[in-house]
Structure 1
Amino acid sequence: MSINPIVTPIHAQSLSFNHVDSAEVLVAQYGAPLMVLDCDVVRQQYRALQQALPNVDLHYALKPLPHPAVVSALLAEGAYFDLATNGEVDLVNSVGVPSDRTIQTHPIKRVSDIQYALEYGCCVFVVDNINEIDKFVAFKDDVELLVRVSFPNADVLADLSKKFGCKPEHAVALINHAHNLGIRVKGLSFHVGSQTRSGDKYATAISRCADIIEQVTEAGLPALNTLDIGGGFPVQYTADVLPINIFCAPIRDALAQLPDTVRVIAEPGRFIVAPAVTNIASVMGQAERNGKTWYYLDDGIYGSFSGLMFDEAKYQTTSVKQSDELFPAVLAGPTCDSIDVISENIMLPKLNNGDLIVSTMMGAYCSCTATDFNFFKRAEMVVVNEHAFSESAVSA
């Protein structure tokens, strides 16, 4: 991961990504394909979630978009950060994030990963099994742990409890094991899954964790004072997704039942960045096949649209060229692989080579999973509104 981006000033006030001239001006200056990151949208999303979850400390999960401009914008907003790898430690460190504003939440770590985070100053870690707890014996005077609890969720884009978390009935035993080793467990964590459809899933998990917190006290173990409710807050890829304030209503109700001594944190990722990035691709060529025009773009499944293969996200795609007359079309990527098809059923005006296609909602799990397959260069990241009320920047 590059943490020293090349920076070139451009002027944000002339850019609006729903406007024809915006895409054309950017492509004329920087070429295509592009991923345009708007830090003002990052700020808006953070503030919206903060308002929906008052008194919850939001730790941005770097995984969906580990970019220095995102980290800087959120740090200025007062955010905390959720780290899972050494590379993410390097990124926040390079931006100047104080280590006490971070936690390391990967449930499975190498001992060297623990050491690396501690050298930076991050001392709160997540575990979900005895093998993992035992790794902390050598660091028991320097660390605090959160025990991750599993709450399976079938009604979700990605059920993260399938891979991580202990059963609720096993949590107290794990906490007791850590206590016998002299390791401090400060709280619990959970993640009900990505792009969760209902806030009720969080409420159920919060209630169950409240029971565990009470059981820990009844067992004579040190009281737990932290609950990490994870991420998974949904963004509006489709119209049926609830507005975030309504979505969080049952979460707020459940949190109100917790003891006042419990600090609540969350790990939003997708919600913060998905709406903040717009993709601009250009038509490389075209062909007529089975009654449809195939438009071959300079970005595709192996590039910025990689999320279509595993993330099930719904990007919103249109052409810069507008017309009342639309025709059935296919959008394909540039590589020589037949799987590289973005959309097989889209209505578009007749396009020429060089015309631009714009796709929104592409901030999460797009640029971070793009590849250079077939030696097609991945889209350059252009950052706008990097500093509030100031200049923008472009970074590679």
Structure 2
Amino acid sequence: MASSRSVLNFQSFTSQALSADDVQLIETSVEQFGAPLLMLDCDIIRQQYRALSNALPNVTLHFALKPLPHPAVVRTLLQEGASFDLATSGEVELVAQEGVPAERTIHTHPIKRDADIRDALAYGCHVFVVDNLNELAKFKAYNDQVELLVRLSFRNSEAFADLSKKFGCTPEQALTIIETAKEWNIHIKGLSFHVGSQTMNPQKYVEAINTCRVVMEQAVERGLPALSTLDIGGGFPVNYTKQVMPIDQFCVPINEALSLLPETVQVIAEPGRFIVAQSMMSVASVMGQAERDGQTWYYLDDGVYGSFSGLIFDDAQYPLVTLKQGDECAPSVLAGPTCDSIDVIAENIMLPKLDNGDLIIGRMMGAYTSATATDFNFFKRAQTVVFNEQVANCERMIG
């Protein structure tokens, strides 16, 4: 399974060489906290949030906690005026602990237990998502407390994760749900969709927006209440090892499609990866090494059961660099610490000769890394160190 992952080449990342300040900060952090580490920079979270806000000026951004549910991320975005997208009772608990006003949250998991609904309502979150009649029926007991969004499905084979494979309904099914909700006296607030994680083509959003606009028109034609909200989901792309379209350009056709909606429709979004992917670097150290099949295998103290879990399920391609410099590079393998042979980070990667204790740095490590890490084999997951949470004094904290 490890051999099926794409090959990384160290020399292709020389343009992303670390600055002297980065190197000093990494080395100082490892001296203080040890390795492995995840270094979270809240300034980058602010930068990414502001970039997307500027690119979608008429859209309310609800940060999706799923890729990086860290308290410092919540606090930073709360200071920026962000809203939040929740999917579980654990996420409800996190935002409640950090003082997020409930009116700035939505709960978008299409499939929920009754306890999930009750937990969210107790907190004060009252906007939920459904995509089928079975789910709609769960809200009969709460019809005077909730507003619902009906999620449509738009398949996207090009995305990292085609979320419409698992969730969403057809336009005709959506109209049936809206009609049934009227019979059950349940308020349908609007529609939602998610075109898939790391979507490279903005036309996917345009197509979905246009379809939702038609559904809204058809609902009125059928004598149903006018829909007031459209949730365009997340999926906005970021640079891993390949350049993607700048976000301001990416959103131009999206804004054009949104401008065709009735002025009474409020538009919201659920960005996750775009906000946090760039905000974190991983730092792993070489535990040991061996020569195998003409390559040097370097065994790190972090791997695919830890911070590099996205290599297994997320298809992420993390840029990797080492602090060790050398004129001669040789084909090498970076492996994780566990006793499982699948725990391989990169193969045929060109590296200088490393010593035990040398450091490997992963970039773009903010999304689906610490959030999906495990303690498999009792190797503890990387500690997160937070930088620049306080804008004025750049206070550091341990997460």
The verdict on a shared fold, with TM-score over 0.5 as the criterion, is yes
Are 2:228 and 1:225 equivalent residues in the alignment?
A: yes
TM-score, normalisation: structure 2: 0.94
**Runs of 4 or more above 6 Å deviation:** 15-18
Shift of 1:192: 0.5
Counterpart of 1:389 in structure 2 is 392
Q: Which residue of 1 aligns with 2:58?
A: 55
Alpha-carbon shift at residue 18 of structure 1 (Å): 6.6
Q: Provide the rounded CA distance (Å) in 1 between the counterparts of 2:58 and 2:87.
A: 24
SS of alignment partner, residue 19 of structure 1: helix
- Out of 159, 172, 175, the position equivalent to 1:172 is 175
Structure 1 length as normaliser, TM-score?
0.95
Deviation of 1:34 after TM superposition, in Å, equals 0.1
Is 1:301 paired with 2:304?
A: yes
Letter in 1 for 2:398: S
Distance 1:18 1:82 in 2: 35
Query: Is 1:121 aligned to 2:124, yes or no?
Result: yes
User: In the aligned structure 2, how far is the partner of 1:333 from the partner of 1:154?
Assistant: 30
Assess if the C-alpha contact under 8 Å between 1:386 and 1:392 holds in 2.
Answer: yes
Look up the match of 1:380. Answer: 383
1:140 aligns with 2:106: no
CA shift, 1:153, in A, is 1.1
1:82 aligns with 2:91: no
SS for the counterpart of 2:180 is helix
Residue 238 of structure 1 and its aligned partner are, at CA, apart by 2.9
Helix, strand or coil for the counterpart of 2:51? helix
Aligned to 2:4: none
Match of 2:319 among 309, 313, 316: 316
CA deviations over 1:38-65 (Å, ceiling 9, x no partner): 0000000001111111110000000000
Choose the corresponding residue for 1:153, options 149, 152, 156. 156
**Residue in 1 aligned with 2:374?**
371
Matched AA of 2:85:
D
In 1, distance between residues paired with 2:383 and 2:186?
45
**Kindly tell me: are residues 100 and 361 of structure 1, through their superposed partners in 2, closer, same or farther at Cα, counting changes over 3 Å?**
same
- Give the letter for the 1:263 counterpart: Q
What corresponds to 2:8 in structure 1? Answer: none
Partner SS state of residue 47, structure 2:
helix
Which residue does 1:23 correspond to in 2?
Answer: 26
Q: Structure 1, residues 210-255: CA drift from partner, whole Å, max 9, x if none?
A: 0011111111111100000000111111334111111111111100
* 3-state SS of paired residue (2:356): coil
Tell me how far apart the structure 2 counterparts of residues 228 and 16 of structure 1 sit (CA, whole Å).
Answer: 39
Is 1:56–1:264's contact at 8 Å kept on the other side of the alignment?
yes
- Equivalent residue runs for 1:176-195 within 5 Å: 176-195=179-198
Change (3 A) 1:58 1:16: farther
Query: Which whole-Å CA distance do the structure 1 matches of 2:21 and 2:279 have between them?
Result: 13
Total equivalences in the alignment: 382
The residue correspondences of 1:320-331 to structure 2 (distance < 5 A) are 320-331=323-334
Unaligned 5+ runs, structure 1: 1-14
Q: Does 1:163 align with 2:166?
A: yes
- Partner of residue 340, structure 2: 337
* C-alpha distance in structure 2 between counterparts of 1:272 and 1:213, whole Å: 30
Cα offsets for 1:115-161 (capped at 9, x unmatched) = 11000000000000101111101101110000001111111111100
Deviates more, 1:149-158 or 1:124-133: 149-158
Structure 2 portions without partners, runs of 5+: 1-17
Compute the displacement of 1:392 (Å).
Answer: 2.6
| Residues 34, 279 of structure 1: 8 Å contact kept | yes
